[in-house]
A = this chain, B = another copy of it.
């Protein structure tokens, strides 16, 4: 692994574990056993490291969000949402100190807004497809409101869950997140698709027990 990648890899691990505000560039250099000067040669400060990590996260997430979603089975949709949460989890330091980071690295704010907007449009497109396929019965206004709640849940679930329960494994945290997400559309299932809710409950219980 090149030094640049080593730095990014170690930064991500330290940020996630100890919280980004508590990690200095000196800590990062010490972790991979290089001099602070060598680190500075690659990254002129922590802000630049945060931007590089954010770019990596954004690229991965946009790839996932671009995946075609029509005609997926319930299981496949479950896995898809799980993967979205997993990528957020991999870069959780960013979400957990979102306000503070966006304040200190203001270049990220417009990008992060665009990413949230993209998530919102993706969710709206997905629910619209499900409505056209007759799976959901939902009006336009409600579709927008439910989509906003889904984006909020996607974005804030990890921060929320850490204060709600102790010692949950990563897998349980993520499966519970997916379950909460599905629960937001369950009340809009068309009556001939109510069986979907039983499928969702089954997948959830298979994965957390």
Binding site for B on A (CB under 8 A): 18-19, 21-22, 96-100, 102-104, 109, 112-113, 116-117, 120, 142, 145-146, 148-149, 151-153, 155-157, 159-160, 162-164, 179-180, 183-184, 186-188
Shortest Cβ distance from A175 into chain B, in angstroms? Answer: 13
The 9 closest A-B pairs by CB, nearest first: A187-B187, A156-B156, A96-B99, A145-B183, A152-B160, A19-B103, A97-B100, A21-B100, A116-B163
Contact of A116 among B103, B164, B179 (CB under 8 A): B164
Please indicate the chain B residues that have their CB under 8 angstroms from the CB of A112 in the complex: 163
Rounded to whole angstroms, the CA-CA distance of A153 and B183 in the bound complex is 14
Shortest Cβ distance from A48 into chain B, in angstroms? Answer: 19
- A149→B19 contact, CB < 8 A: no
> How many protomers of this protein does the assembly include?
2
Please indicate the chain B residues that have their CB under 8 angstroms from the CB of A117 in the complex: 164
Contact of A145 among B97, B99, B149, B180 (CB under 8 A): B180
Shortest Cβ distance from A141 into chain B, in angstroms? Answer: 8
- B155→A160 contact, CB < 8 A: yes
Rounded to whole angstroms, the CA-CA distance of A117 and B145 in the bound complex is 26
Rounded to whole angstroms, the CA-CA distance of A180 and B144 in the bound complex is 10
Shortest Cβ distance from A167 into chain B, in angstroms? Answer: 13
Please indicate the chain B residues that have their CB under 8 angstroms from the CB of A162 in the complex: 99
Rounded to whole angstroms, the CA-CA distance of A159 and B99 in the bound complex is 7
Contact of A188 among B120, B163, B187 (CB under 8 A): B187
Closest to A112 in B: B163
From known contacts A99-B159, A116-B163, A164-B113, infer whether A183 and B146 are also in contact, taking CB-CB under 8 Å: yes
Rounded to whole angstroms, the CA-CA distance of A187 and B149 in the bound complex is 14
Please indicate the chain B residues that have their CB under 8 angstroms from the CB of A22 in the complex: 100, 103-104
Rounded to whole angstroms, the CA-CA distance of A117 and B180 in the bound complex is 17
- B156→A160 contact, CB < 8 A: yes
- B180→A149 contact, CB < 8 A: yes
Closest to A186 in B: B142
